[in-house]
Structure 1
Amino acid sequence: MSRFDDLKQRMRGSIAPIITPFKEDDSVDLDALEELIHWHIESGTHGISVTGTTGEPSSLTLEERVQVMERAAKAVNGRVPFVPGTGSTNHQETLYLTQKAKDIGADAAMVIVPYYNKPSQHALYKHFKTIADTVDIPIIIYNIPGRTAVNMDVKTIARLNEDCENIIGIKESNKDFEHVNRVLLHCGRDFLLYSGIELLCYPMLAIGGAGYISATANVMPGRVADVYNYWVNGNIKKAQELHYDLMPLNDVLFKDTNPAPLKAALGMMDRINPQLRLPMDLPNEELQKEIRSVLDQYGLLSKNVGSHA
């Protein structure tokens, strides 16, 4: 038995990585963030995450990241698990943000493999081990080699799982499906494995995954959550149908760097002011037309947005 067993049962399904809305003056729109969180929970999203890749954390100041985490925690108000992203390339900043997550009552912290500086596996172990030893909060490792330029080896993940009671899972934005199978083989199937790759969200459930943290949930929170709902209730055929039904939306939302297409889509749905901070920007006009066309196919444009989202 682990002191995290109850949490592990709750932290399953669709944990939505919420975007960070900005106002016209480039400031963070905390009111819009709160509205998005309410919409997600009302739509059936199983958990909320902020300041992960989709939340543009590298475009936020340290103070803004804390403000987003605090406002999100208040909006969630314990209704579903809350898992903010607290990692950065800076070890001390990661410790600081992870401690803040604990202070505001987050259920867990999602800590990304440091990007840009390309640490060795030994250095990655020391980085995560120190965080886990310093801050007594459940930790979800976030492995996204396409963004970080380094992939955390299965052996490193398994070693951290063995040595750190509070490292309870991993978000794998990893297209190597053999790798993610071996994560559960070596860490045990009570280790929480989440897909961060949209087309692997459903397949990850089949190998024993706990769920997924999918950017597409920002656009269709209900349907993305229902893939898990159908699966866990034994309606495999319906889960498969929904997996393929979501594929055109998944495809168009990743034709430019996330979250640029996503913010364009949410703007077209009148959910947010579609603004990113430089060096990120909205997609070109051609891709925006394609996004609009796909949204229209799903009935998601602002004129007909309804409960089916």
Structure 2
Amino acid sequence: MKLPLTGVIPPIVTPLLSDTELDIAGLEKLIEHLIAGGVHGVFLLGTTGEGPNLSYELRKAFVRKACQLVNKRIPVVVGITDTSITGSLEVAEVAYEAGADALVISTPYYVPMSQEEMVAYLRYLVPLLPLPFMLYNMPSCTKMHMSLNTVRKAKELGAIGIKDSSGDLAYLYSLIEEFKDSPEFSIIVGTELFIPETMINGGHGAVPGGANLFPQLFVDLYDASKKKDPKAIAAFREKIIQIEDKVYNVGHEGSKYIKSIKCALSIMGICNGFVAMPFRQFGPEQQKQLAANLQEMASKN
């Protein structure tokens, strides 16, 4: 894999038929939909991919099948974050054997970690990893916002970049500034509306969940941001605001983001909308609302 990792790297959903069975046909359609849309890589088993909610066997089966379907056409990075270090290493080994390019590590969740504990954890874990790794800063789910010092020490241990999903623009800018003299260390944003700010100020890419649905739109925004084209950026950003309003905001639960993307993919005929326990997919009323919203968006575009 060429460094730095750049471009639009969707955190793909895990298509499911049940809590124990992958939607293989849906996964193939999804991967072809993304590659046809011009994405530059895929991220497996992230937040959007419901990684923590899947059994180890299902995670491993998903990694193996996704890597087989991608077939080295674009880079594949695999999330291995877990409360169990043994579980993390099991998935890491499968990712390596399946031909993935890198691993993604966030803070083990449930009991909050200190910055010092995170660094100690990485010092233990990293020498055991079979692939390069990047960090994933996701404080809303992990209860720890990685400090610049923690990221700096992770880089010293071999980290090839960081995905920042904190939603903190000042922090994102501080990452770009801190590592501006390290051209092979990727600064990748998870907050979709921050893509222009990331690219214009020297970042490397984005991991947008909405690219599962509309990959070409996010690639176009990425390209316009690289070119610093304000008119094109404004037009594409307006469409992404529509996705926020018409897709992500259907439903009221904290899990609505995952449910809405899977439901929309089902309506689009790409993959099953099944959502893994402890959550469940949208009911008929929400599905109907989302279908109407997608139709409205299509008529405007």
The residue number in structure 2 matching 1:187 is: 179
- How many angstroms does 1:231 deviate by? 2.6
Looking at structure 1, the residues matched to 19 and 92 of structure 2 have their Cα atoms a distance apart, in angstroms, of 29
Residue type of the alignment partner of 2:157 = C
Looking at structure 1, the residues matched to 246 and 150 of structure 2 have their Cα atoms a distance apart, in angstroms, of 34
1:134 aligns with 2:128: yes
The residue number in structure 2 matching 1:299 is: 298
The residue number in structure 2 matching 1:304 is: none
- How many angstroms does 1:276 deviate by? 0.9
The answer as to whether partners of 1:199 and 1:250 remain within 8 angstroms in 2 is no
1:282 aligns with 2:274: no
Q: What are the superposed Cα offsets for residues 41-67 of structure 1, whole Å, 9 maximum, x if unpaired?
A: 012111111111111112211111111
Scaled by the length of structure 1, the TM-score of the pair is 0.87
Instruction: Count residues with an aligned counterpart.
Output: 293
Residue type of the alignment partner of 2:296 = Q
Gaps of 5+ in 1: 1-5, 301-307
Looking at structure 2, the residues matched to 232 and 199 of structure 1 have their Cα atoms a distance apart, in angstroms, of 15
The answer as to whether partners of 2:23 and 2:272 remain within 8 angstroms in 1 is no
The answer as to whether partners of 1:175 and 1:197 remain within 8 angstroms in 2 is yes
1:267 aligns with 2:266: yes
Identical pairs, percent: 27
Relative to structure 1, is the Cα distance of residues 240 and 13 closer, same or farther in structure 2, using a 3 angstrom cutoff?
farther
The residue number in structure 1 matching 2:160 is: 168
Note the 1:56-205 alignment, pairs <5 A.
56-161=50-155, 163-165=156-158, 167-188=159-180, 190=183, 191-205=185-199
Relative to structure 1, is the Cα distance of residues 100 and 241 closer, same or farther in structure 2, using a 3 angstrom cutoff?
same
Looking at structure 1, the residues matched to 149 and 238 of structure 2 have their Cα atoms a distance apart, in angstroms, of 33
SS of aligned partner of 2:187 = strand
Looking at structure 2, the residues matched to 114 and 218 of structure 1 have their Cα atoms a distance apart, in angstroms, of 26
Looking at structure 2, the residues matched to 278 and 97 of structure 1 have their Cα atoms a distance apart, in angstroms, of 20
Scaled by the length of structure 2, the TM-score of the pair is 0.90
Residue type of the alignment partner of 1:64 = L
SS of aligned partner of 2:17 = coil
Looking at structure 2, the residues matched to 232 and 283 of structure 1 have their Cα atoms a distance apart, in angstroms, of 37
1:45 aligns with 2:45: no
Looking at structure 2, the residues matched to 24 and 100 of structure 1 have their Cα atoms a distance apart, in angstroms, of 22
Which one has more relative contact order, counting CA pairs under 8 Å at least 6 apart? 2
CA RMSD of aligned residues (A): 2.1
Looking at structure 2, the residues matched to 240 and 106 of structure 1 have their Cα atoms a distance apart, in angstroms, of 35
